Amino acid sequence: MRPLETPKRGRPKKDAVMDTLAVRLPDELVAEIDTYVSRLQDQLPGFNISRADAIRQLLTVGLKAEVERLDISEGS
């Protein structure tokens, strides 16, 4: 930091831009997600895993698996 520069206020900018999506989910699915979060926090103590983090992870893994499945079936 230069001598006359003051630190910027607020949260630092993120590298990636994220959209906000509002999604309605059945209570049973929300309960399963919360159970998944609890299990992750038990397995990874010291990490603060939010419901949003878990949903992003589940979507990423699920989409990757689905894309691989579709790519394989298209080649058949």
Does residue 49 fall inside a structural domain? yes
Number of domains observed in the structure of the chain: 1
Range of the domain at 44: 27-75
CA 45/CA 7 separation, integer angstroms = 32
Residue 15 has pLDDT above 80, yes or no: no
Q: What is the 3-class SS of 2-43, one letter each residue? A: CCCCCCCCCCCCCCCCCCCCCCCCCHHHHHHHHHHHHHHHHH
Residue 76 has pLDDT above 60, yes or no: no
Identify the helix (H) or strand (E) that includes residue 49. none
Task: Convert the pLDDT of each residue in 46-75 to its tens digit.
Answer: 889 999 999 999 999 999 999 998 887 665
**pLDDT-based confidence at residue 1 (cuts at 50, 70, 90):** low
CA 66/CA 64 separation, integer angstroms = 5
Q: What confidence score (pLDDT) does residue 73 get?
A: 66
Does residue 3 fall inside a structural domain? no
Does residue 21 fall inside a structural domain? no
